[in-house]
């Protein structure tokens, strides 16, 4: 079956890539463009083993599952090739990409591949080999992915109030073991390994072992991106992983005070975290970490501490302090979707503080709340919520009355 669909992809779907390969190169008047480079360089393993070419929330569906096939097979399998075909200008990328969420599409960043090089600044690596393959209209890559992200184990030492990870963490480690095993043959091409989009890398034993045993001399190009709550990132842990090349370390904190921290990051310890942060900031200054970031997921419980959090970043001397709005339905904590007017006004005021305008303070997706004033559409959202709540109460009352 796989063979038949492979042939169909080969015959039917070569339209855009062959047209692309045949078009004149280096023509500034009509540059040859692809929608996005990520399907040619990135692979993400998500919950349940599903594989996507970028963040799973940007992408519709998946390109295979590591419970059924190896990562290597998926990387050049039918669906990945079909996706790459759709990236060449004129291709059907809408079939795969979520236009409402993906930043590449929202920012309309098409890529003129004849006019970029491996030194062009970008979020992810660009290599000569990758550019050559795209310029030739290839959909089967003669090399492995340049970046891999593992978001397939939710085990965590904390239980933050806005996070689903620990609530679904029933892992026996089989999936992460399979992902790490499958990653082995891809290591020679990998430039970045991202751990762990979900769960806590230093808490998951398989990830810890992988980091401790990683042979940086054998794979000198591989750099690590680590997303951590920082509690287990102690000087002892540092001793065990200091052989790794750390591209980024992101420490999620979500608070500028001990009280707020312990309200949100259940199981965390502010004092231990502060000690670890001072230690990591020292390693960053010594040049052992390329970028050190601290992050705040903004919600009701911490929305008043934005400016203090930015000051904390400055005091520590990190590369960047960044803010991200909470997503998902977390009741009163969800101040954005619910349009909590007083919280949003307070956020807006803090964002206009001159201190927040300094380099190294990154509002990210909070940008849209700067100078925010409630309009009719916001009141309509609030009204809809109030009416929904009223109707639901009414229903409950009826059911209660009838029983």
Which of helix, strand or coil describes residue 172? coil
Among 83, 175, 190, 326, binds ligand SAM (CB under 6 A): 326
95 token code pair: 């079939």
| Residue 231 interaction partner, one of ligand SAM, ligand SF4, none, beta carbon < 5-8 Å per kind | none
Please pick, from the candidates 228, 260, 301, 350, the single residue that binds ligand SAM as defined by CB under 6 A. Answer: 228
**340's tokens:** 């909590």
Judged by CB, which is closer to ligand SAM: 83, or 296? Answer: 296
As given in the structure block, the two tokens for residue 203 are: 């808490």
Query: Contact residues for ligand SF4 (CB under 6 A)?
Result: 35-36, 38-39, 53-54, 58-59, 96-98, 102, 104-105, 156, 158-160, 163, 165-166, 199-200, 229, 252
**Quick one: which of 148, 162, 281, 343 contacts ligand SAM (CB under 6 A)?**
162
Region near ligand SAM per CB under 6 A, out of 45-53, 71-79, 137-145, 326-334? 326-334
Interface with ligand SAM (CB under 6 A), residue total 18
CA distance 77 to 2: 9
Which residues neighbour 40 within 8 Å (Cβ) at sequence distance 6 or greater? 34, 84, 87, 130, 133, 134, 141
Which region, judged by CB under 6 A, interacts with ligand SAM, from 232-240, 286-294, 314-322, 324-332?
A: 324-332
Q: Closest Cα partner for 332 from 342, 345, 323? A: 342
Residue number, 96 or 248, with CB nearest to ligand SF4: 96
**Residue 186: what are its φ and ψ, rounded to 5°?**
-90, -10
Are the C-beta atoms of residues 159 and 87 closer than 8 Å to each other? no
C-beta of 309: minimal distance to ligand SAM in Å? 12
Q: Do the Cβ atoms of 124 and 192 come closer than 8 Å? A: yes
Residue 326 DSSP SS3? coil
- By CB under 6 A, tell whether 163 contacts ligand SAM: yes
Q: What's the rounded Cα separation, in Å, for the pair 58 and 269?
A: 33
Comparison of 139 and 297: residue with beta carbon closer to ligand SAM: 297
Alpha helices in 224-353 (DSSP H): 235-241, 258-264, 270-285, 306-316, 341-351
Q: Which residues bind ligand SAM (CB under 6 A)?
A: 156, 162-163, 165, 196, 198, 200, 227-229, 252, 254, 295, 297, 324, 326-328
């Amino acid at each position: 079956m796989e063979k038949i669909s492979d042939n169909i992809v080969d015959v039917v779907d070569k339209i855009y890539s062959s047209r692309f390969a045949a078009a004149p190169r280096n023509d500034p008047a009509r540059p040859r463009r692809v929608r996005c480079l990520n399907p040619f360089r990135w692979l993400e393993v998500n919950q349940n083993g599903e594989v996507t070419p970028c963040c799973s929330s940007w992408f519709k569906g998946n390109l295979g599952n590591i419970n059924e096939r190896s990562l290597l097979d998926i990387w050049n399998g039918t669906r990945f090739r079909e996706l790459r075909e759709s990236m060449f200008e004129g291709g059907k990328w809408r079939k795969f990409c979520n236009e409402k969420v993906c930043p590449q599409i929202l920012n309309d960043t098409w890529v003129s591949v004849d006019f970029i090089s491996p030194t062009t600044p970008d979020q992810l690596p660009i290599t000569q080999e990758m550019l050559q393959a795209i310029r030739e209209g290839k959909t089967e890559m003669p090399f492995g992915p340049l970046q891999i992200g593992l978001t397939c184990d939710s085990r965590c030492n904390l239980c933050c109030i806005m996070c689903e990870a620990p609530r679904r963490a029933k892992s026996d480690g089989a999936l992460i073991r399979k992902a790490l095993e499958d990653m082995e043959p891809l290591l020679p091409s990998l430039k970045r390994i991202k751990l762990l989009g979900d769960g806590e890398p230093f808490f998951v034993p398989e990830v810890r072992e992988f980091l401790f045993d990683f042979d940086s001399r054998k794979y000198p190009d591989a750099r690590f991106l680590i997303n951590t709550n920082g509690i287990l990132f102690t000087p002892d842990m540092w001793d065990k992983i200091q052989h790794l090349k750390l591209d980024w370390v992101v420490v999620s904190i979500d608070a500028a005070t001990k009280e707020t921290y312990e309200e949100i990051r259940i199981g965390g310890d502010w004092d231990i975290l502060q000690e670890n942060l001072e230690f990591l900031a020292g390693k960053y200054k010594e040049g052992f970490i390329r970028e050190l970031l601290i992050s705040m997921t903004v919600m009701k419980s911490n929305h008043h501490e934005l400016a203090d959090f930015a000051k904390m970043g400055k005091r520590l001397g990190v590369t960047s302090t960044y803010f991200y709005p909470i997503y998902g339905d977390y009741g009163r904590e969800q101040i954005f979707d619910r349009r909590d007017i007083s919280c949003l006004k307070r956020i807006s005021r803090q964002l206009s503080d001159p201190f927040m305008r300094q380099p190294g303070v990154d509002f990210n997706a909070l940008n849209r709340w700067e100078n925010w004033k409630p309009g009719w559409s916001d009141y309509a959202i609030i009204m809809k919520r109030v009416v929904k709540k009223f109707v639901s109460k009414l229903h409950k009352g009826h059911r209660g009355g009838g029983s």
